[in-house]
Structure 1
Amino acid sequence: MMMRTKQILFAALGLMIFLPSFLSYGAAAEAEGKITSKDEVVYATLKSNGELEDIYVVNTLEVAKAGELIDYGKYSSVKNLTDLSELDQNGQVVQINAPEGKFYYQGNMEDNTELPWDIEISYLLDGREVVASELAGKEGHVEIKINTAANEKADSVYFENYLLQISLQLSNSYQNIEADGGMVANAGKNKQITFTVMPGQEESLSAEADVADFEFSGIDIAAVPSTLPIDTSEMENMTDDMSALSDAIRELNNGVAELKKGVSELNDGAASLRDGSAKYKNGMSELSGSSSQVVAASSSIGDALKKINSSLSQGSDEMDMSSLSELPGGLTQLANGLNQAADGLSELRKNYSEAYSALDGAIKGIPDHQLSEEEIAGLLSSGADANVVNKLVDTYKSAQKVKGTYVQVQKAFAAVDPTLNQVSGSVKEMSGNLTTIANELSASLEDMDMGALGELQKGLSTLSSNYGEFHSGLVSYTKGVSELSSSYSQLHSGIAGLSGGTSELNKGVGELHNGTSELHQETKDLPEQMQQEINEMIKEYDKSDFEPVSFVSAKNEKVTSVQFVIKTEAVEKEDQETKQAKPEKKKGFWDLLLELF
């Protein structure tokens, strides 16, 4: 009876304390409430292999006006986290009598609920895959692999717009901790490893270490909308730099095109020079080859003159007139030989003039541009073929050397033509004089009387004496022609080498121009392409315009935030010590009072 009386007193006291608040709350519930925003935090626990174990959502309602509210969700059950009032759940409809301010309640998701990500976790011990529970307390090399992918059974909006931050902690006592693609940082007594998975990306992550007495607190995964701030101001400078690079490559290509044109002209000039030089060389060789015959004929004529002069000086009785009668024929033969030599000199002069004109034009066609070491280095760093550039530089240096040498010896080249003209004229004149002498001598012999032999002997004596000087000059001339022919062979070899070099240069510059043209075509739109890539990157990773979507129901409105907090189970050693049971706390007045209701 006494116990019954106490219960009645407690009930009456409780009614007196809570009845005013219940009455006022009930009156407020009759009115329709109003919310300004709704936040959802999705909590999920995973097994050690990544398989979903449990999932629930904590909803936060910002209540601007107290009263009856309706929220939606595919919950198996709901729980009020704000006060002790019950929530009314009817299918996917949750009715709430909420006071003004923040109102929290938990919704436990149905069993068939799917996370937006497929998460697979595997464990290896010394290269052998094992289940997580077998690792507890083990020693060896442990590797933890985490694979993330889109879950085709869930709404793709979260996979495409949410960033995953995956973190795990390993004991600081573990050795050789590595994380491919992750960031490792100290966190007290542990090393914290953090991975970031960008929206829409599937990743394979890995962390490994040499462990002893292995324990693992599990993997924490947070998923939030990607709101990475992207500053595009520096990117504008970058595109400007790319524009300058593109313009520089265009100018380089134009310069190489001009170089190609000049080198082509130089190559044509060098080829003409080589052909003219070959003709000149052949003419010199022929002239040098016939010089010995001319010298031999001249020597025979000199001997004949000496013999005739000697015979005439001994008197008419001892003179052999048959030898004298042979003299006009010998002089005519020598005159013909000199005439042929003069014709050869004229042909030589013509060929030389053509060759010298081609040489002069080709040498003058070599550009006077001077390439600095900085310009050569810039050309090498432009991306062009280094072998081609080196050939170009070597040929450029050789061409400049040839031009410098030509300037020094140009006077000698220019003096050859008038000299050949003078020598040819002199030889022609000598040939004519000898022909005249031969004709006059032949006529004199036909009409000769013994009284005229004195004058003839005197004339022949003078001719014999002077002919020695002529013969010496002719020998020196032929010797000079031989030396010139020999020296010019070396010059012709150099000219032929120059022609071959310019041909290689022309080919190399052509390849270089093809390369710079291709480079120009590939880079002329580089600034626009780069800007397009930047825009696509910003579009892919900047989710600042993303509108949150309720995870629990598409009917929910005014959703301002949806976040995911995911945790895997830990790997722990079994505790062998039996925990002592804590003594039951003695219930106080308020505990007993609350139990009544």
Structure 2
Amino acid sequence: MMMRKKQLCYSALAAMVFLPSFLSQPAHAATEGNVASKDEVIYATLNASGNLDNIYVVNTLEVDKAGEILDYGKYSSVKNLTDLAEIDQEGQKIEVQAPEGKFYYQGNMDEKTELPWNVNVTYLLDGKKVKPEELAGKTGHLEISVEIAENEEGDGVFYENYLLQVSLAMPNTYQGIEAPGGMVANAGKNKQITFTVMPGEEKTLKAEANVRDFEFNGVEIAAVPSTLPIDPTGTGSMAGDMSELSNAIKELNDGVGELETGVSELNDGTAGLQEGSAQYKNGMNELSGSSAGLVNGSASIRDALAQINQSLSGKSAQVDLSSLNELPAGLKQLAGGLNEVANGLTALQENYSQAYGALDGAINEIPAGQVSEEEFASLAESGADPAVVDKLKASYSASQKVKATYAQVREAFAAVEPTLTELSSSVNTMSGQLTTTADSLSASLDKTDMSGLVELQKGIASLSAKYGEFHSGLVSYTDGVGKLASSYSELHSGIVELNGGTSELENGVGELHDGTAQLYKETSDLPGQMQEEIDKMISEYDKSDFEPVSFVSSENENVSSVQFVIKTESIEVEEQVTKKAEPEKEKGFWELFMDLFK
């Protein structure tokens, strides 16, 4: 009797426990619920090298009508995270009775699931590759390399449209923390290093530091849709700037064209200058070469006049008049020689005048304007060939040097022509005097009048004295001609070098003009090209029109967002922990209730 009473008590207690839940269930068939939207957060854990360990998904369903709902996913198992309701799983089909509001459940992906990205993490300690499990507690210079690449086995839609934020944390105690291309910020006791990988981009990220007793919380990767739109309104000013640049290049090309014309004219002028200078140089060399003969001939005339004067200075009775008969012919021959010298000096003066005029005109055509170093630097920065700019600069310097040198010796050149004219006149005068003397002497000898001989003696004495002065001047003149010829050789070498430089300059400026013409041709549509590149960049990185799709199953609808949280395992120093006996956990109501049936 007591046993039966106890059994009835147990049955009554069990009925009290289960009756409320039984009464809460509707007596008719379950109603169909409705899901307004769905969010998926994919959690993936990787080992320290980046190899995939496992993946699970937390699904958030926005239920606007309570009842039985359907969802889909390639799960190996599922777990209700909202209440104690059972979730039925049949293949990829998930069924559950869900209340109104947000309903959460976890789905563990099967082993065949692949992430859209391959992640490879390598570690270098003091330049040597080290396995992650051997790094804990190490000291030295550490370099962590994270390689992000497309996983062709995964769903490419996420690779093409998702932006990745890769984060690493290192303690502030580490020294020399560097992360090229990454942003380093203080985060409490750590330095937070963050990299950004654009959609569809494969990238290798590096961070390095001097570490001590190394530990690492791992690499964290957050992947979200790149839904930030790119506003193209500001690109109009950029296109305008490119238009101004294109116009400036056109002006540069036109200016180089004018420069090419000017340099061509300059080169023609320097070529004429070189030709005239060569003629002048040859004439000077001929004149200098004949100076010795001229001086020797003049010395012979001087000595002959001195000898005649000495002979006539003796007693008249002792003079052999038969010898004097030959003197008028000799004097006339001497006069003829002086006439030839005078004619030669006149021809030299005319040739010199022409050569000097050509030289003076060509050098005066060399522009006197100063081109500054800043202007040459500006030309070099404009995109011109540096070699051509250097040639232009060297030719400009040479032309200015020639112009400055000519300015210094111009007075000497100008004095040559009057000197030649004066010298020619003096020689003509002496030739006339000799002819007059010869005629007088001939008449006197015909009359054999000794009184005429006295007059002849006086004339010869005067002529001998004046000719001595003339001969001294002639020697000084020929010395000056020799120095002038020697100095002019150096000037002529400079003119030849100038002509060679302007010729190279003309070729260089021609190449420069060809280059600027090609540059203008390629940049004439620069604004259009710029806009095309902007449109291309926008189409490549603006994913604002991307419609979210489910990662777990293509059958899911109303997907509002899908995000990825990926993390590698930590590298930690193992601690020796002594286990303590845990106190027996106090049993709750359910455990006590179940004990009643044991």
Please confirm whether the aligned pair reaches a TM-score higher than 0.5, indicating the same fold: yes
Q: Which runs of 5+ in 1 are unaligned?
A: none
Write out per-residue CA displacement over residues 467-511 of structure 1, whole angstroms, 9 at most, x where no aligned residue: 532452354245224313323421342232233144235425644
The Cα shift of 1:132 comes to 3.7
SS at match of 2:540: helix
5+ residue gaps in structure 2? none
Q: Secondary structure at the match of 1:45?
A: strand
Cα gap change, 1:398/1:244 in structure 2, threshold over 3 Å: closer, same or farther?
A: same
Task: Give the direction of change, closer, same or farther, for the CA distance of 1:341–1:540 in structure 2 (3 Å limit).
Answer: same
Q: Mark the CA change 1:310 to 1:186 in structure 2 (over 3 Å): closer, same or farther.
A: closer
CA distance in 2 between partners of 1:582 and 1:189 (Å):
36
Per the alignment, do residues 169 and 32 of structure 1 end up closer, same or farther by CA in structure 2, a change over 3 Å counting?
A: closer
Alignment of 1:10-409 (within 5 A): 11-12=15-16, 14-16=18-20, 19-20=23-24, 22-23=25-26, 30-31=31-32, 33=34, 35=36, 37-66=37-66, 68-123=68-123, 131-136=131-136, 143-174=143-174, 177-179=177-179, 181-209=181-209, 211=211, 213-227=213-227, 248=248, 251-252=251-252, 254-255=255-256, 256-258=259-261, 260-307=263-310, 309-310=312-313, 314-315=315-316, 317-379=317-379, 392-393=392-393, 396-397=396-397, 399-400=399-400, 402-403=402-403, 406=406
1:587 paired to 2:584: no
Which amino acid counterpart does residue 284 of structure 2 have in structure 1?
K
**Cα displacement string for residues 400-449 of structure 1 (whole angstroms, at most 9, x for unaligned residues):** 4543564576566445435534543553454355346535644664xx24
Identity across aligned pairs (percent)?
48
Give the secondary structure class of the aligned counterpart of 1:224: strand
What's the CA shift for 1:292?
A: 1.3
Change in Cα spacing, 1:228 to 1:263, as seen in structure 2 (3 Å) is: farther
* Distance change in 2, residues 1:585/1:124 (3 Å): farther
Check whether the contact 2:263–2:502 (CA below 8 A) recurs between aligned residues: no
Q: Which amino acid aligns with 2:424?
A: S
**3-state SS in 2 of match to 1:77:** strand
Corresponding residue for residue 500 of structure 1 = 497
- Residue 552 of structure 1, CA deviation: 1.5
Match of 1:462 in 2: 459
1:505-529 CA-to-partner distances (Å, cap 9, x unmatched) read 5425644663575466457645456
Q: Distance in 2 between matches of 1:304 and 1:339?
A: 22
Distance change in 2, residues 1:386/1:210 (3 Å) = closer
2-side partners of 1:510 and 1:105: how far apart?
79
Task: Note the aligned Cα RMSD (angstroms).
Answer: 4.0
Measure, in 2, the Cα distance between the counterparts of 1:319 and 1:80: 159
Encode CA deviations 1:179-234: one digit per residue, 9 max, x unaligned.
Answer: 45544443333443333333333333444555555544333221112346656666
CA–CA separation in structure 2 for the residues paired with 1:340 and 1:50: 107
C-alpha displacement of 1:74 = 2.0
Relative distance call for 1:57 and 1:330 in structure 2 (3 A) is same
Q: Structure 1-normalised TM-score?
A: 0.83
Q: How far apart in 2 are the matches of 1:118 and 1:330?
A: 117
Q: Output the CA distance in 1 between the equivalents of 2:7 and 2:219.
A: 54
- d(CA) in 2 for partners of 1:377 and 1:103? 70
Would the aligned equivalents of 1:260 and 1:510 in 2 still touch at CA under 8 Å?
A: no
Moved more, 334-343 or 49-58: 49-58
Q: Distance in 2 between matches of 1:389 and 1:375?
A: 11
8 Å contact from structure 1 (residues 295, 475) kept in 2: no
In the alignment, the residues of structure 2 paired with residue 108 and residue 421 of structure 1 have an alpha-carbon distance, to the nearest angstrom, of 117
1:202 maps to amino acid: E
Distance 2:7 2:177 in 1: 66
- Please state how far the C-alpha of 1:55 moved relative to its aligned partner: 1.2
CA 1:124 to 1:495, structure 2 compared with 1: closer, same or farther past 3 Å?
A: closer
Q: TM-score, normalised by structure 2?
A: 0.83
